[in-house]
Structure 1
Amino acid sequence: MESLLCQDGFLHRFFGISESFPEHIAIRNLDVDTGVVTYRELRLKAEQCNGALGTLNISPGDKVALVLPSGVEFIAYFLAIVGRGAIPVILNYKLTPFEMASVVGSARPVLVVTTAALFEKHSEIFQLANGVRHSLLLDVDESSSLPENATPDVQLMCRNEPLVLPEGNPVVSIQFTYRGTGKPLAVPHRYLDVTHAIDGMHEHIHRQGVGSVHLVTLPLHAIFGLSAMMIFPLSVGATLLMTDTLLNRDLAEVLSRHKVTYTCLVPDVIRYFNSRLAKRKGALLPMHPQLMIYSGGSHLPADEAEKLGRLLGCKPVLQGYGLTESMPVLLQSTLGVAQRGAMGQPIRGVELRVVDAQGQDVAPGRIGELLVRGSMVIDGYDDAEEANKRFFRDGWLHTGDLVWRDDDGHVFFYRQRLRISKIKAQMVDLLEVESVAMQHPDAVRAKAYIVPDHKEVNALHLCVGGRAGLTQSAISTLLSQHLSGFKLPKTIEIIVLKEHSHAS
């Protein structure tokens, strides 16, 4: 196939689609009766959002935090921020106040775009002490009483301001990840690098474009959700099929009725639908002949991938691999040979090595750490000198993932060697969990660890040693007050340390 790589970025391409196919559907929201947005309407919506940003004096280079659920508003404001030359700081809207304080304090955005409910939850954080000059709130009644540093967006949607196409390769998103250091690390992605990453991915799959339908199943605040499930389809003219209620729907009916051509499901969701579809009555529904289902976020056993394909009457689920620091770098191809159980082969522009503890390349079939480099791999974290020294060396990103390769270059996952893990496809830093547990005055030491269950699903466990009187309930309450639900241990073991059991 002819290379798709070129120097025009994703916003350039979105402009081209909106001009050539203005009435083509960009977004179809299954949860809203009037949830259809054309490419022309999405561009106008983004221009309205840009006008609101202009009224609040947002300038090129300013950081603007998006704390929103996936939806039209998220997409329109992302396009507006990029089209203004500002920098989107994309935050998980489900974070607890403890977690939100850490990332906002690190990023220091000048503006936060969020909802009234989320502003109320994090109002103490969205303040000037963390760099936040103002908050722009969605879905607020104009008569609502708000503090001086918050404004409903409806008051500012009075004029459109055209988006400006980026020049060169500026930063167009900052997201956060964990690497076992106990604190979030800021990951900056650049305009052309994001575009090259989706181009490299596109070369391995059936060509997508106007008429393609992408079922959006990943949160847009995650790097693969942002790049592969929002930026990619909008840059080729596909339709984003969105819903927050997929788990309550018949997956087969959704895929068949809307002629979905591409989607990505995390392993836990694949297991869930495998269980539901196994009980489904009736004949198999017709699927688009080129339907592609991918999995990422954590390891998917090959039998689960094949089972979903059988239950839907389509090809097995294929896998991909990437990091917040790299976007997709490995992919099983729909156009070539996909090796059973592999994560895939490198996409165009990616170099990889598999090395031993001494940094020497290992032979095919031998286990080693995966190192990657390429235009889609960041140069380093923002303001994290020690982490950069540890993970970025001699131009290579040290992933911390142990893998092996076969003779044809297919890469297979073995295990993670860093003190991080994926729980429900979300990153968990074991040191962060331990640090929160250690805030209890009777805790002396804490150790978090991962044990896969009988279905190869990672489960988090925590052992806390401390003084007499320390209880599971106390530690559980402390953790739930600080951490998101997916970070909470499945079991908590309390050990009374002898040297402290009789302390006065």
Structure 2
Amino acid sequence: MKSLTHKEGFLHRFVDFSHSFPEQIAIRDLDADETVTYRDLRIRAEECNGFLHALKVSPGEKVALVLPNSVDFIAYYLAVIGHGAVPVILNYKLTAFELGNVLGISKPSLIVTTGALFEQHQDLFQPTHALIVGNGDEPLENATVEATLPRQAQPLSLPDDNPIVSMQFTYRGIGKPLAVCHRYLDLTQSSDGLHEQFHPQGVGSVHLVTLPLYAIFGLSVMMVFPLSIGATLLMTNTLLNRDLAQVLSEHQVTFACLVPDVIRYFNSRLAKRKGPRLPLHPHLMMYSGGSHLPADEGEKLGKLLGCAAVLQGYGLTESMPVIVQSSVGEVHRGAMGRPISGVELRVVDAQGQDVVAGRIGELLIRGSMVIPGYEAAPEINARFFRDGWLHTGDLVWRDEEGHVFFYCQRLRISKIKAQMVDLAEIESVALKHPDAVRARAYIVPDHKEVNVLHLSVEGDGELSQNSVTTLLSRYLSGFKLPKIIEIVPLKEALHAR
């Protein structure tokens, strides 16, 4: 893969498309029944940039986006980059406790959010000025409603180097979030490397967007990639309430990514679907991301829809997607694929020595799309970044042709519903219970290879399943809540009886 110049970055490409193909549809929002052209999206981003100017946001400052998948999320992301500021992209579904942790690390000068989310987290957001997207004229303390600002569009300033264009957060089993920053050309290069493995996409291609854009996989594959090639983003936050086959057929989708839990869900629904198969795009590519997908589930969805089997990929918040099964090349059943251009990988044993094909070892990766380290975390960086290699903590093996197969995760983290769960964080919250003495979270795969979170808490007094569940719900997002909680009486208390 050739090295990119700043003029070949994704924002440059998007702006070029907005001028050369102004009427091309950039976003079709199924939920809002809204269609946005490339010109419309650029104009909306320029309006958002005007709001940032009105609020005197300086280049280099951090702007937090706490928004659901929407046209506004995309427009503000483009505007923040085009303003020379740094987007801090946060999961809008986080609890106040979780949001407080990441806001404390990132320290943005402005939070862009909705009225409902501002009301929900008003005490948390108020120390930082907030910009409320949408209408409204009621005065708010330390917040500005977008509709009260003058609509004075400001052209997007295109980056002339390789600035940071996203700050996101991940976990590594140490009980606290870690800040990850990606840069302009690196994000573009990752998208280009993926495209080399796909049926060619471009103007007229339709990409189904169902993954959250606040995660790196959604941001890079579901937004940056299509907008840099002139494709259409088909957006919906209600896919589970829709007929997947109908959506794919009606809009002639060419590229779709789904997480394993959603694939299992549609396998069950489509098995009961009546009527003939609907005509799909002849080069429809279905991919799975977020966590490992068993091969039979991906093959089943392809058979039910009448298209090729679901392909897989692999990436981390620290790396963006770096391994992918090719839709135009050789695919090995059950593999995650081979590294894209610009990525090097090793599989090593406990002593750091490379293992032969067929042997299990830890996956190490490096390349321009892999970050050099977490922000302001030198001790943690020394553990995970050594000699230019990111130690992923994932155990894998390779076959003779270099296809990578996932085995298991070595760190005390896991994916639940395609979301990262840090077992140490769950334990630390459980220990906030006044009668808890020890806590241990662990994962048990069920009969469908779905990760199930268990929690064992040792203590006495008022410790109970209900009290622990109530405590965890106060602090943690729903996907982090254990499915099974075991209460273990203190051994000391038992001996005293």
TM-score (structure 1 length as normaliser): 0.97
1:434 aligns with 2:427: yes
**Distance across 1 between alignment mates of 2:135 and 2:473:** 29
Aligned to 2:371: 378
Aligned to 1:103: 102
Kindly indicate whether the alpha-carbon contact (under 8 Å) linking 1:46 and 1:77 is maintained by their aligned counterparts in 2. Answer: yes
Aligned to 1:146: 140
Aligned to 2:118: 119
Kindly indicate whether the alpha-carbon contact (under 8 Å) linking 1:468 and 1:501 is maintained by their aligned counterparts in 2. Answer: no
Alignment of 1:6-405 (within 5 A): 6-7=4-5, 8-33=8-33, 35-128=34-127, 132=128, 134-142=129-137, 144-147=138-141, 149-405=142-398
Give SS of 1:85's match.
coil
Distance of aligned partners of 1:226 and 1:61 in 2 relative to their CA distance in 1, 3 Å threshold? same
Deviations 1:380-416 (A, max 9, x none): 1111112111111110000000000000000000000
Give the C-alpha shift of residue 369 in structure 1. 0.2
Distance of aligned partners of 1:377 and 1:232 in 2 relative to their CA distance in 1, 3 Å threshold? same
What amino acid does structure 2 have at the position aligned with 1:6?
L
Kindly indicate whether the alpha-carbon contact (under 8 Å) linking 2:97 and 2:476 is maintained by their aligned counterparts in 1. Answer: yes
Kindly indicate whether the alpha-carbon contact (under 8 Å) linking 1:4 and 1:200 is maintained by their aligned counterparts in 2. Answer: no
Give the C-alpha shift of residue 91 in structure 1. 0.1
Give SS of 1:95's match.
coil
What amino acid does structure 1 have at the position aligned with 2:27?
I
Deviations 1:323-377 (A, max 9, x none): 0000010000011111100000000000000000000000000000000000000
User: How many pairs were matched up?
Assistant: 495
Give SS of 1:219's match.
coil
Give SS of 2:162's match.
coil
Give SS of 2:92's match.
coil
Aligned to 2:457: 464
Mean Cα deviation higher: 444-453 or 112-121: 112-121
**Distance across 2 between alignment mates of 1:440 and 1:67:** 30
**Distance across 1 between alignment mates of 2:249 and 2:226:** 19
What amino acid does structure 2 have at the position aligned with 1:32?
A
Q: Percent identity?
A: 70
Deviations 1:165-201 (A, max 9, x none): 0011100000000010100000000000000000000
Give the C-alpha shift of residue 218 in structure 1. 0.3
**Distance across 2 between alignment mates of 1:118 and 1:226:** 21
Kindly indicate whether the alpha-carbon contact (under 8 Å) linking 1:468 and 1:502 is maintained by their aligned counterparts in 2. Answer: no
TM-score (structure 2 length as normaliser): 0.98
Give SS of 1:176's match.
strand
Give the C-alpha shift of residue 297 in structure 1. 0.9
What amino acid does structure 2 have at the position aligned with 1:25?
I
Give the C-alpha shift of residue 127 in structure 1. 3.6
Deviations 1:115-146 (A, max 9, x none): 11111222222243xxx2x100013411x231
Give SS of 1:371's match.
strand
Deviations 1:22-75 (A, max 9, x none): 011000011123x00000000000000000000011111000000000110000
What amino acid does structure 2 have at the position aligned with 1:31?
D
Give SS of 2:293's match.
coil
**Distance across 1 between alignment mates of 2:17 and 2:495:** 72
What amino acid does structure 2 have at the position aligned with 1:58?
V
What amino acid does structure 1 have at the position aligned with 2:47?
Q
Distance of aligned partners of 1:45 and 1:492 in 2 relative to their CA distance in 1, 3 Å threshold? same
**Distance across 1 between alignment mates of 2:180 and 2:3:** 23
Give SS of 2:125's match.
coil
**Distance across 2 between alignment mates of 1:201 and 1:296:** 13
What amino acid does structure 2 have at the position aligned with 1:137?
I
Kindly indicate whether the alpha-carbon contact (under 8 Å) linking 1:104 and 1:125 is maintained by their aligned counterparts in 2. Answer: no
Kindly indicate whether the alpha-carbon contact (under 8 Å) linking 1:5 and 1:199 is maintained by their aligned counterparts in 2. Answer: no
**Distance across 2 between alignment mates of 1:435 and 1:406:** 40
Kindly indicate whether the alpha-carbon contact (under 8 Å) linking 1:349 and 1:374 is maintained by their aligned counterparts in 2. Answer: yes
Give the C-alpha shift of residue 98 in structure 1. 0.5
**Distance across 2 between alignment mates of 1:346 and 1:370:** 12
Deviations 1:207-248 (A, max 9, x none): 110000000010100101001000110010000000111101
Give the C-alpha shift of residue 282 in structure 1. 1.0
Give the C-alpha shift of residue 501 in structure 1. 5.2
Give SS of 2:123's match.
coil
**Distance across 2 between alignment mates of 1:385 and 1:354:** 25
Give SS of 1:175's match.
strand
Kindly indicate whether the alpha-carbon contact (under 8 Å) linking 1:48 and 1:157 is maintained by their aligned counterparts in 2. Answer: no
Kindly indicate whether the alpha-carbon contact (under 8 Å) linking 1:48 and 1:160 is maintained by their aligned counterparts in 2. Answer: yes
Which ranges of structure 2 fall in alignment gaps of 5 or more residues?
A: none
Deviations 1:457-501 (A, max 9, x none): 000000000124311111010001100000000110001112145
Kindly indicate whether the alpha-carbon contact (under 8 Å) linking 2:436 and 2:463 is maintained by their aligned counterparts in 1. Answer: yes
Give SS of 1:441's match.
coil
Give SS of 1:236's match.
coil
Distance of aligned partners of 1:502 and 1:138 in 2 relative to their CA distance in 1, 3 Å threshold? farther
Give the C-alpha shift of residue 6 in structure 1. 2.9
**Distance across 2 between alignment mates of 1:12 and 1:140:** 30
Kindly indicate whether the alpha-carbon contact (under 8 Å) linking 1:305 and 1:318 is maintained by their aligned counterparts in 2. Answer: yes
**Distance across 2 between alignment mates of 1:102 and 1:473:** 26
**Distance across 2 between alignment mates of 1:386 and 1:92:** 26
**Distance across 2 between alignment mates of 1:63 and 1:297:** 27
**Distance across 2 between alignment mates of 1:487 and 1:158:** 41
Give SS of 1:23's match.
coil
**Distance across 1 between alignment mates of 2:151 and 2:183:** 31
Mean Cα deviation higher: 428-437 or 492-501: 492-501
CA RMSD of aligned residues (A): 1.2
Kindly indicate whether the alpha-carbon contact (under 8 Å) linking 1:211 and 1:238 is maintained by their aligned counterparts in 2. Answer: yes
